Amino acid sequence: MKICRFKNKEKHEHAIHIGLVNDDSTVTDLTAAGIDKLTRLLEAEDPVALVGQLAKLKLPRLPLAGVQLLAPVGWQEVWAAGVTYMRSMKARMEESEFSASAYDKVYAAERPEIFFKSLAQKVVGPGEPVGIRRDAKWNVPEPELALVLNSHGKIVGYTIGNDMSSRDIEGENLLYLPQAKTYHRSCALGPWIVLGAPEAQAREWTIKLNIERDGKSVFTGETSVSQIKRRFEELAEFLFRSQVFPYGAILLTGTGIIPEDSFTLNERDMVRIEISGIGVLQNPVAVV
């Protein structure tokens, strides 16, 4: 079951609607049934049952091609876990002699690395440009499974996240991590939220990254969600320790795909992330 935020392209209106995506071809407008915010669904006792009941009503349907999908986040803060895949730990130890032992230790430690990534209103949606910093020389996308958590810390869904990162800034000094990770257009989410998949099912999904330059593929990579070292509930539990999220939160689960060290993104590259079980998130790259 896939839910989304969208605008009606045909009507050129600014109003934001909440929708149910049917067979990747049409969208049922749930806002016509009074669902004006994602949290009305995500905070429900049983979001899948609620959407199932709404789907039985006679509600307007639009072609998917006639809507502009928006980032599936309303008021939730976006956070990110790091060094959850062996590949991420190794690549980061290589990028920085200075911080190598920190990455090594955090991979094995009981407490995971979790950092603040973005306010909801700064998140980029499907088709919108993601940013590379003008003061960075080594920039990469990080394709990540994103957990959608309600205000009680319960995992209610999943979406695709891109944790855009400046590897030279991060590698120079670990204390520069917030500048390497949190800047204009550094976080993309979409295309929608998949509800109701248990962790065991999500662990069977694959994550693929394809980067195109001038219409040609310049990088492809693939990993499996099963390679994430920590359980999703463990990550969610640490995020909610001594914290409150009145609107819930989004938690990116770390990257397992890192291009070779000679690779950096260019302006106008196209980043395509596919997670089987969710869909495709695609964004062009712009210098910010």
Footprint of ligand DO4 (CB under 6 A): 80, 82-83, 88, 92, 113, 142, 163, 177, 254-255
**150 interacts with Mg ion by CB under 5 A:** no
CB of 249 to ligand DO4, least distance (A): 16
Q: Of all residues in this chain, which one has the CB nearest to Mg ion in the complex?
A: 163
Q: How many CA atoms lie within 13 A of 230 on its CB side?
A: 25
31-48 in b/e form (b: 16+ CB < 10 A) is bebebeebbbbbbeeebe
- Rounded CA-CA distance 237/196 in Å is 19
SS (H, E, C) 58-127: CCCEEEHHHEEEECCCCCCEEEEEECCCHHHHHHHHHHCCCCHHHHHHHHHCCCCEEEEEECHHHCECCC
Q: Counting contacts by CB under 5 A, is residue 113 touching Mg ion? A: no
Q: Which does 17 bind (CB under 5 to 8 A by kind): ligand DO4, Mg ion, none?
A: none
C-alpha distances in Å from residue 27, one per residue of 9, 118, 170: 13, 28, 40
Q: Please, which residue, 177 or 287, has the CB nearer to ligand DO4?
A: 177
Q: Indicate the residue among 95 and 269 with the shorter CB distance to ligand DO4.
A: 95
Please state the closest distance from residue 118 (CB atom) to Mg ion, in A: 12
Q: What is the DSSP letter of 284?
A: E
Write down the least CB distance from residue 254 to Mg ion, Å: 5
Between 39 and 162, CB nearer to ligand DO4: 162
Query: Residue 83 binds what, of ligand DO4, Mg ion, none (CB under 5 to 8 Å, by partner type)?
Result: ligand DO4
Residue 75 or 263: the one with the smaller Cβ distance to ligand DO4 is 263
Burial class of residue 127 (count of CB atoms within 10 Å of its CB; 0-12, 13-18, 19+): middle
Choose the contact partner of 288 out of ligand DO4, Mg ion, none; CB within 5 to 8 A by kind.
none
Specify the DSSP element, H or E, that contains 148: strand 143-149
Q: Quick one: what does residue 113 bind among ligand DO4, Mg ion, none, with the CB cut-off 5 to 8 Å set by partner type? A: ligand DO4
C-alpha dist (Å) from residue 273 to 45, 121, 189, 251: 31, 21, 10, 17
Q: Which of 163, 170, 269, 274 binds Mg ion (CB under 5 A)?
A: 163
Closest by CA position to 233, among listed 276, 192, 203: 203
- Kindly state the smallest distance separating residue 164's Cβ from Mg ion, in Å: 9
Which residue's C-beta sits nearest to ligand DO4? 82
| Residue closer to ligand DO4 (CB basis): 87 or 213 | 87
- Of the pair 113, 274, the CB lying nearest ligand DO4 is at 113
Instruction: Point out which residues bind Mg ion (CB under 5 A).
Output: 142, 163, 255
